Amino acid sequence: MRCKDPIIVVKDLYVYFYTYAGIVQAINSVSLEICRGETYCLVGETGCGKSVTSKALTRLIKPPGRIEKGEIYYYPEPGKKIDIRKLSEEELRELRGYEISYIFQDPSTSLDPLYTLGYQVAETMAFHKVVHNIKDGIRKAVVVLKNAMMPDAETRVKAYPHELSGGLKQRGAIGISLANQPRLLIADEPTTALDVTIQAQIMDFLRKLKEKEGLTLLLITHNMGLVAEMCDTVAVMYAGEIVEEAPVEILFKNPMHPYTKGLLKAVPVHVGKKVTLQSIPGTVPNLIFPPPGCRFHPRCSYKFDPCDKKRPPMIEVEENHKVACWLYEKKG
Amino acid sequence: MAELRRFLIRRFLTFIPTLIGVTFIVYLIAAVVPANPARLWAGGQKANPQVIAMLVKEYHLNDPFYVQYYYFMKGFLENSMVSPVTGYKVWYEVKTYMPVTIQLTLISFVFILLIGIPLGIISALKKDTWIDATIRVVALVGVSVPIFWLAYLLIFLFFTKLGWITLSGTPTPPYSITGIPLIDSILKLDWHTQWEIIKRYWLPGIILAYPGIGVIARLVRNSFLDALGADFVDYVDARGLPKSQRYRHVLKNAMVPIITVLGLQFGGLLAGAPITETIFGLPGIGRFMLTSIYSFDYLSLMGGVFIIALIYMTVNLIVDILYALIDPRVRY
């Protein structure tokens, strides 16, 4: 156990999507632990299963997707364990948006265009019985939006999403997600759709919020800069599997998995001498027919004998630094 | 609200040029037909020249057509314009025949709403099952089958074989509030007349509605599925809102395109009314207009055109208002 006081523990999770083309093995034996109060990052390319993993945490996977197997535990308080997979739909509903909240990538599509921002804040509170009714909620929404750094919150409560800019919309969405003061906030690429200055503001806000409220943050991103800036622990995902997990300084200083190395070489660095950016050869595999053994082996330059036959185990190479790669088998 | 009033005033003002435009074009078409209306009206080959001369003078037939148009509109609106063929005032004829058509289109419209919308929703909820497939075939048939063919088929079944319908006369109650028996009998709670009207009108109503039912069912299915797949629905789920609230968001978003098409459908019903009325022997404005065309009574025809254009515009005004009420992105 990495954490003394985990808030989420996932063990051996499998999520499959049953499509016409075949069964997409989107998540393949993912295990992770998020410690209370930390910022845990999931990084990886588009389609590697970051979002699916985060949605699986509260069983938000919709058909044709299905959680095949695995255990998901949520600890609202130290020592109090809730088995997410055994909860009823109603119990899950009470959990979502109250204890565990989400922020999605694109605020212009995640807000309903036909309702005011105030209404959408209010309904989130009202259906978790934080306020008595929608009307009461709309009154409280001003405070909620102010807390989410919404300028001029009194008038913005009555605004419809199309009347707000992208940055304001995301602040609104953050306000909605934080309205019930959740313990765990899952931010799925919260700034990808925004421009850089607003990105910085929002990230700054999330960091301050964490310090103030003791919130746990699960940040999903493909932006390595954001990872370096925000995260405590990083898990690198590739083709539905976690290939490496480490505290952020260790991961950047000493990346071990060939995929992580490739990923870091593909990030522009603005200080020091000029280094040519490198891309990882090949493309993400089709997860209906995933490569046997290590899913990364067709693109890996270190490939050797067991790679295309047996799946590498998670090897703890140093304290809290785990990597799924045959290269480190003997050393670990 | 001030905006809404301005919008309404503006829309009412556009009624006038539209009405003038529609009637003027129809009048133009009637006037350029190379025929001698006065001779036709006076009795054809054996017509008395004196009568012809009188008609020419009375209806300004030697004047250019726009002058004729002016005199027609003036006479029609002052209720002094008399049809040269029937001898009745045009306004009186319109008032006599209109209630039948209004009842027919209202009943058809109710059928479209009560059958088309639920079929579409069921189809969307049971997507890609045999239920969905059946509904889609029924809808496709509705769009493609000519209504006169269907009408005779169902008359054979329900009138000749089963005797479930009446095919002559129209129930008229002894009282009159709005002049439309269907609405009057509802206001008076006169269930007997109500039942008589339904017995007379349900089959023509459903036949007139059938193509519309097909169009609406398909549209509802698609817009419902679009709304269900929208990102904000995922966000509604992620916030732990109950199912009822989820359908509230989905339905409201799905209504936007549906309302627009319902307005157009009403126009389709008015256009289809002449055929249905003729087949079922209903003395409505559609059949009256057809008869007027046969007897070259374009003055009566113009009365019908005027009133139908007015109804169509009113319905679409209501649609526009509903549209703006539902969707904040459409403001006046």
CB of A93 less than 8 A from some CB of B? yes
Residue type, A100: I
Burial group, residue B113, by CB count within 10 angstroms (0-12, 13-18, 19+): middle
Segment A126-154 shows an average pLDDT of: 87
Note the pLDDT tens digit of each residue in A23-46: 999 998 899 999 998 999 999 888
Same domain, B169 and B38: no
Same domain, B123 and B154: yes
pLDDT value, residue A332: 43
Note the pLDDT tens digit of each residue in A99-120: 999 998 888 889 999 999 999 9
Look at residue B19 and tell me whether its pLDDT is greater than 80: yes
For an interface test with A, give the residue of B223, B235, B323 to mutate (most A CBs within 10 A).
B235
Residue A288: closest CA among A14, A15, A13, A17: A17
Residue A15: closest CA among A2, A28, A32, A33: A28
Q: Specify the residue for token string 């080959």.
A: B45
DSSP readout, A277-299? Answer: ----SS-PPPTTSPPSSSTTGGG
- Shortest distance between the Cα of B243 and any Cα of chain A, in A, equals 10
Note the pLDDT tens digit of each residue in A41-87: 999 888 888 899 999 999 999 888 999 999 999 998 888 888 988 99
pLDDT value, residue B331: 66
Q: How many CB atoms lie within 10 A of CB A109?
A: 17
Contacts of A98 in chain B (CB under 8 A): 240
On whether residue B83 sits in a domain, the answer given is no
Look at residue A288 and tell me whether its pLDDT is greater than 60: yes
Same domain, B49 and B116: no
Instruction: Quote the tokens at residue B247.
Output: 């359908």
Q: Specify the residue for token string 């009745």.
A: B88
- Shortest distance between the Cα of B312 and any Cα of chain A, in A, equals 27
Same domain, B33 and B111: no
Q: Is the CB of residue A160 less than 8 Å from the CB of residue A145?
A: no
Note the pLDDT tens digit of each residue in A273-286: 667 778 888 888 88
Same domain, B180 and B312: yes
Q: Identify the domain boundary among B13, B44, B77.
A: B77
Q: How far apart are CA B332 and CA B120, in angstroms?
A: 30
- Say whether A184 sits in a helix, a strand or coil: strand
Domain with CATH 3.40.50.300 in chain A: 6-99+182-328
CB of A60 less than 8 A from some CB of B? yes
Burial group, residue A247, by CB count within 10 angstroms (0-12, 13-18, 19+): middle
Same domain, B196 and B275: yes
Same domain, B133 and B13: no
For an interface test with A, give the residue of B226, B232, B252, B323 to mutate (most A CBs within 10 A).
B232
Task: For residue B264, give the CATH number of its domain.
Answer: 1.10.3720.10
Mean pLDDT for all residues in chain A: 88
Residue type, B144: S
CA atoms within 13 A on the CB side of A311: 12
| Closest-approach residue (CA) in chain B for A57 | B238
Whether residue B238 and residue A112 make contact (CB cut-off 8 A), yes or no, is: no
Q: How many CB atoms lie within 10 A of CB A325?
A: 25
- Of all residues in chain B, the percent with pLDDT exceeding 90 is 15
Arch. (CATH architecture) of A6-99+182-328: 3-Layer(aba) Sandwich (3.40)
Q: Identify the domain boundary among B77, B105, B128.
A: B77
Contacts of B245 in chain A (CB under 8 A): 123, 127
Residue type, B106: L
Same domain, B243 and B102: yes
Q: How many domains does chain B have?
A: 2
Note the pLDDT tens digit of each residue in B202-231: 888 988 998 889 899 999 999 999 998 888
Contacts of B252 in chain A (CB under 8 A): 112, 114
Helix (H) or strand (E) holding A192: none
Distances (CA, A) of A21 to A17, A28, A260, A286, B160: 10, 19, 30, 11, 53
Q: Which structural domain range is residue B110 located in?
A: 96-326
Segment A117-126 shows an average pLDDT of: 91
Strand positions, DSSP E, chain B: none
Whether residue B241 and residue A127 make contact (CB cut-off 8 A), yes or no, is: yes
pLDDT value, residue A194: 81
Q: How many CB atoms lie within 10 A of CB B82?
A: 19
Biggest alpha carbon–alpha carbon distance for chain B: 85
pLDDT value, residue B28: 87
Look at residue A14 and tell me whether its pLDDT is greater than 90: yes
Whether residue B240 and residue A96 make contact (CB cut-off 8 A), yes or no, is: yes
Segment A146-155 shows an average pLDDT of: 87
Note the pLDDT tens digit of each residue in A227-273: 988 899 999 999 889 999 999 999 998 899 999 988 888 877 766 66
What are the strands of the beta sheet with A65-74, ordered from one edge? A22-35, A6-19, A65-74, A82-83
Same domain, B174 and B29: no
Whether residue A92 and residue B328 make contact (CB cut-off 8 A), yes or no, is: no
pLDDT value, residue B1: 55
- Is the N-terminal amide bond of A107 cis, ω within 30° of 0? no
Same domain, B65 and B105: no
Contacts of A95 in chain B (CB under 8 A): 240
On whether residue B86 sits in a domain, the answer given is no
For an interface test with B, give the residue of A99, A102, A114, A164 to mutate (most B CBs within 10 A).
A114
pLDDT value, residue A119: 92
- Shortest distance between the Cα of B141 and any Cα of chain A, in A, equals 28
| Closest-approach residue (CA) in chain A for B256 | A114
pLDDT value, residue A284: 82
Helix (H) or strand (E) holding B54: helix B49-58
On whether residue B87 sits in a domain, the answer given is no
Same domain, B174 and B226: yes
Contacts of B239 in chain A (CB under 8 A): 96-97, 101-102, 123-124, 176-177
Whether residue A92 and residue B240 make contact (CB cut-off 8 A), yes or no, is: yes
Note the pLDDT tens digit of each residue in B137-185: 888 888 888 888 888 888 888 887 887 777 777 777 777 777 777 788 7
Whether residue B238 and residue A104 make contact (CB cut-off 8 A), yes or no, is: yes
Same domain, B140 and B284: yes
On whether residue B88 sits in a domain, the answer given is no
Look at residue A318 and tell me whether its pLDDT is greater than 80: yes
- How does residue B113 score in pLDDT terms, banded at 50, 70 and 90? very high
